Amino acid sequence: MGIGRRDFVQLGLAGVLTANNGPVAAAARLYGEIPSRPLDILILGGTRFIGPHMVREAQSRGHTVTLFNRGKTNPDLFSDIETLIGDRDGNLQALEGRRWDVVIDTSGYLPRLVGDSARLLTNAVEHYLFISSMAVYSSFTTRFMDESGPLRIMPDTESEEVNEYYGALKVLCEQVVQETLSGRNTILRPGIIAGPGDHTDRFNYWPVRVSRGGHMLAPGNGSDFMQWVDVRDLAQFVMRCLERNITGIYNAVRPAAAYTMGDMIEDSRVISGVKDLEVEWIPLEFLQQHGVEPWDDLPAYMPLSPPGDFSHMFAISSAAAFTKGLRARAATETIADVLAWWQTLPEERRNPMRAGLSVEKEAEVLAAWAKEKS
Ligand SMILES: NC(=O)c1ccc[n+]([C@@H]2O[C@H](COP(=O)([O-])OP(=O)(O)OC[C@H]3O[C@@H](n4cnc5c(N)ncnc54)[C@H](OP(=O)(O)O)[C@@H]3O)[C@@H](O)[C@H]2O)c1
């Protein structure tokens, strides 16, 4: 069974349906992004959020893609693509005896498993690109922190608890890739990844909440920075690294200190066309007194003040990646595309959102704030 248009719409890929001949390819040619050599690309993963965008970007540039996964997540998404079924944990057999030019590892969380695939593939690929995360950094105390920032140290070398040690485990994954494919690897450290198909709702919360209108809680005074990478910009940069043999470690986020929470709410208001929005900016201290924390309850949000370990989490430098060709589309494009994609989702996916304040909690804090002010 081939992929249906509905699948594409739900995963936010409708715009690349005609990528081989359409505007995407035309733009790529204009910018010299069409590679001289088609690549055979293996993706370890490929079917949740970022993987599908990588697949379609690769295809639009004339590359051939093979997927390796367990066949559990969106199994019917890419029936036009060879999918090798296995499990990173103990069943890599389907990869044996095969060769590819490059591998993209989007599903590596444990160094033991990343080590297994890196060792198996070291003679089967020329280049290993590992999707890491900004979570590798232990603190964000300086603005414009680059790739030399302090890394997390794994406190319990036996543990494989990804929820608890996500960042520290990613550090170890990076190391095993670097050791196993020395000089033939690229490590990308994305921040929050945004765009159509995002299953986390961390970015989605803000434009969607604005679009719903009414009395809305917003943290601080609007001047705190936001930073993310659009999944399509990330996919384009991944291809560029593979096509041009760009190795090394790169933060992958939009420019630092360039976009604020105030910008997000205003852009979302204009793009969504909402008429009855009333934004209530509430100081952090009051929010915390009422059990509302940055990041956990207010996704993709981190205040600059009071100064703390994470103050500059959204003021990371991606200068190295921009030098190598990372591009950042306009924030308004990401917001507009997320809102358009959101409208295509079934009601049970849209409510409740997977991140952000519940309707009840927001109303409760707004009522407490109104009382405080009166
Ligand atoms: N979302 C963000 O904001 C964010 C930020 C920074 C970094 N990242 C990084 O982005 C990556 C995740 O992106 P994604 O989930 O959207 O990637 P994806 O490639 O679209 O989906 C994950 C893939 O991994 C496969 N998979 C999971 N467990 C597997 C196993 N044991 N063996 C083989 N295949 C397996 C899944 O298929 P099956 O289930 O069928 O096996 C699925 O195809 C991670 O590396 C994460 O650290 C994400």
- 203 in ligand 1 pocket by Cβ < 6 Å? no
Number of C-beta neighbours around residue 234 at 10 A? 25
Closest CA to 7 of 249, 348, 344: 344
- Our mutation pick for probing the ligand 1 site, out of 42, 55, 69, 177, counting the most ligand atoms within 8 A of Cβ, is 69
d(CA 145, CA 143) in angstroms, rounded, equals 6
Q: Where are the domains of the chain?
A: 5-373
**The ligand 1 atom nearest the CA atom of 44:** 34
The two structure tokens encoding residue 219: 């943290």
Residue 127 has pLDDT above 70, yes or no: yes
pLDDT of residue 37: 86
> Tens digits of per-residue pLDDT, 213-268?
999 999 999 999 999 999 999 999 999 999 999 999 999 999 999 999 999 999 99
The two structure tokens encoding residue 301: 């949000």
280 CA distance to ligand 1 middle (Å): 36
Number of C-beta neighbours around residue 370 at 10 A? 11
- Our mutation pick for probing the ligand 1 site, out of 78, 91, 104, 107, counting the most ligand atoms within 8 A of Cβ, is 107
**The ligand 1 atom nearest the CA atom of 74:** 40
- Our mutation pick for probing the ligand 1 site, out of 43, 50, 203, counting the most ligand atoms within 8 A of Cβ, is 50
- 260 in ligand 1 pocket by Cβ < 6 Å? no
> Tens digits of per-residue pLDDT, 57-72?
999 999 999 999 999 9
Closest CA to 205 of 60, 58, 11, 338: 338
Helix axes 261-272, 331-343, angle to 10 degrees: 50
CATH match of 5-373 with 3.90.1170.50: no
Query: pLDDT class for 10, splitting at 50, 70, 90?
Result: low
Give the percent of the chain with pLDDT over 70: 90
Residue 83 has pLDDT above 80, yes or no: yes
The two structure tokens encoding residue 344: 């295509």
d(CA 258, CA 255) in angstroms, rounded, equals 6
- 207 in ligand 1 pocket by Cβ < 6 Å? no
Residue 18 has pLDDT above 50, yes or no: no
45 CA distance to ligand 1 middle (Å): 6
Residue 355's region, left for phi above 0, alpha for psi from -120 to 50, else beta, is: beta
- The Cα diameter of the chain in Å comes to 72
> Tens digits of per-residue pLDDT, 163-184?
999 999 999 999 999 999 999 9
Query: pTM of whole model > 0.95?
Result: no
pLDDT of residue 77: 97
